[in-house]
């Protein structure tokens, strides 16, 4: 098989659990995202999913048996480990976690892991009682101390039929942790930084059926929260209603209205070092909420009275102290000029300006074109990039400003 040197190599370890079936989705997403995915399965994992499945999804031979090619194995586990930019173990059993935490290398996967010099993401999957076991928790703590990144587990239905904490996180959520851990390589750490992020739209009810809202999908804010968590920050995300799942390793508070968002952000503001306001807060809400659906024929709908919502960012900025304040702006015209106005009026350290025009439709999209304003109004215009990459660029600027 010819090697594609342009593709970063990711080692994907698959250990023996029913969640191995779901890990095929992760292999597929990593492959589609442009990684050279090298799957190593433990012999137990092959009882749940065949090697052929991973081979078909990744286009690479799957390694299972350390002694398959005796003359090569000792070279192969080291050469693969050397080439890898990142490793992800999905699912990770209690057995794997125990071995990795204690330096045991008795199969192809643990032998390779022991030779790695790159970040390792671990996605555990096990019964809730096993996860809660003191020995397992001590091993998890040890691995975290050694820099291993955990993606889950989450609470949900377990293979044994009960509900509990031990279920493997969804493959898409694990993918986000892997992607952001990969993008974080070589960039500044945000360890010890407490970051507060607002995201999504706010939804202002008019009556039990109707509401005022906007097109924000929340993707930019969620990407920023995940990116910061991957760089070691303690992140609280206050989100309006979105279709997105909670990112892993982030504390998420869900709200509906601007007033609820303000309250949740005020609660988190005291303890934060930086606040990034990506939320598209509805500017107005209905003056009176009608607890009955307003009839179309009645004047109430045509003459709906609106009142202005609080400007959350401006309000929190007035209590700024030593915190770093970052705003976002989305405008269809005179974007930079109007963002410069907001930048000084709201007392910000940085504002990220989304272009909204024929060239760029950021709402709900995976990528974006922005300019970043900092300092005395210096404007840095960035090329189109994914919201994940953009998050790390923004965090680079944030960490420079915090230094």
**Interacting residues with ligand C5P (CB under 6 A):** 198, 258, 277, 279, 281, 309, 311-313, 327-329, 342
> What single-letter DSSP state applies at residue 106?
-
What span, in angstroms and rounded, lies between the C-alpha atoms of 118 and 131?
25
Residue 39 or 220 with smaller CB distance to ligand C5P: 220
For residue 379, the minimal CB distance to ligand C5P (Å) is 17
Residue 255 or 313 with smaller CB distance to ligand C5P: 313
143 sits in the region (left: phi over 0; alpha: psi -120 to 50; else beta) called alpha
Residue 12 or 279 with smaller CB distance to ligand C5P: 279
For residue 278, the minimal CB distance to ligand C5P (Å) is 6
What span, in angstroms and rounded, lies between the C-alpha atoms of 402 and 225?
17
- Which positions ≥6 away from 119 have C-beta within 8 Å? 86, 87, 147, 149, 181, 182, 184, 185
Q: Is the dihedral of CA 248, 253, 257, 258 positive or negative?
A: negative
Residue 150 or 328 with smaller CB distance to ligand C5P: 328
Residue 342 or 392 with smaller CB distance to ligand C5P: 342
For residue 224, the minimal CB distance to ligand C5P (Å) is 12
Residue 198 or 249 with smaller CB distance to ligand C5P: 198
For residue 279, the minimal CB distance to ligand C5P (Å) is 4
For residue 267, the minimal CB distance to ligand C5P (Å) is 15
Q: Which residue stretches of 115-205 are H helix?
A: 128-132, 134-145, 171-183
- Strand-pairing partners, residue 331, are 355
Q: Pick the catalytic residue: 90, 118, 160, 272? A: 160
For residue 232, the minimal CB distance to ligand C5P (Å) is 24
Element (H, E) at 38: strand 36-41
What span, in angstroms and rounded, lies between the C-alpha atoms of 44 and 67?
16
For residue 200, the minimal CB distance to ligand C5P (Å) is 10
Question: In 3-state terms, what secondary structure has residue 204?
Answer: strand
What span, in angstroms and rounded, lies between the C-alpha atoms of 373 and 331?
15
Residue 27 or 312 with smaller CB distance to ligand C5P: 312
Q: Is the dihedral of CA 95, 99, 105, 111 positive or negative?
A: positive
* Cβ contact 202:221 at 8 Å: no
> Residue 206: phi, psi to the nearest 5?
-100, -45
> What single-letter DSSP state applies at residue 63?
B
Judge whether 272 counts as a catalytic residue: no
What span, in angstroms and rounded, lies between the C-alpha atoms of 351 and 326?
6
Chain-centroid distance of CA 327 in Å reads: 20
What span, in angstroms and rounded, lies between the C-alpha atoms of 356 and 286?
26
Rg of the Cα atoms in the chain: 24
Catalytic residues, which ones?
Answer: 160
């Amino acid at each position: 098989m010819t090697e594609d040197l342009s593709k970063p190599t990711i080692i994907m370890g698959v250990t023996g659990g029913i969640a191995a079936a779901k890990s095929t989705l992760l292999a597929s997403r990593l492959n589609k995202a442009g990684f050279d995915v090298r799957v190593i399965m433990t012999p137990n994992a092959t009882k749940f999913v065949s090697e052929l499945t991973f081979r078909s999804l990744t286009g690479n031979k799957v390694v299972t048996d350390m002694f398959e090619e005796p003359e090569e194995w000792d070279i192969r586990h080291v050469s693969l480990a050397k080439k890898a930019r990142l490793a992800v173990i999905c699912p990770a059993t209690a057995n794997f976690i125990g071995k990795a935490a204690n330096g045991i290398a008795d199969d192809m996967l643990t032998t390779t892991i022991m030779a790695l010099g790159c970040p390792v993401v671990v996605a555990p999957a096990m019964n809730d009682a096993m996860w809660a076991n003191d020995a397992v928790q001590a091993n998890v703590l040890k691995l975290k101390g050694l820099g291993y990144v955990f993606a889950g587990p989450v609470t949900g239905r377990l293979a044994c039929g009960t509900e509990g904490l031990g279920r493997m996180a969804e493959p898409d959520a694990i993918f986000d942790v892997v992607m952001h851990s990969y993008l974080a390589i070589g960039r500044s750490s945000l360890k010890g930084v407490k970051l507060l992020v607002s995201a999504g739209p706010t939804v202002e009810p008019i009556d039990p059926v109707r509401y005022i809202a906007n097109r924000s999908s929340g993707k930019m804010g969620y990407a920023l929260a995940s990116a910061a968590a991957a760089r070691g920050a303690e992140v609280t995300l206050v989100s309006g209603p979105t279709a997105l799942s909670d990112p892993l390793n982030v504390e998420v508070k869900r709200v509906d209205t601007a007033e609820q968002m303000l309250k949740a952000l005020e609660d988190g503001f005291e303890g934060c070092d930086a606040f990034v306001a990506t939320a598209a807060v509805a500017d107005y809400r209905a003056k009176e909420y009608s607890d009955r659906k307003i009839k179309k024929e009645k004047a109430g709908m045509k003459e709906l009275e609106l009142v202005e919502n609080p400007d959350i960012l401006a309000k929190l900025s007035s209590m700024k102290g030593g915190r770093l304040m970052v705003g976002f702006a989305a405008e269809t015209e005179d974007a930079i000029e109007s963002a410069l106005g907001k930048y000084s009026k709201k007392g910000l350290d940085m504002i990220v300006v989304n272009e909204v025009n024929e060239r760029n439709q950021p709402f709900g999209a995976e990528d974006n074109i922005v300019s970043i304003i900092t300092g005395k109004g210096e404007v840095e215009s960035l090329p189109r990039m994914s919201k994940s990459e953009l998050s790390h660029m923004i965090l680079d600027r944030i960490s420079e400003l915090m230094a």
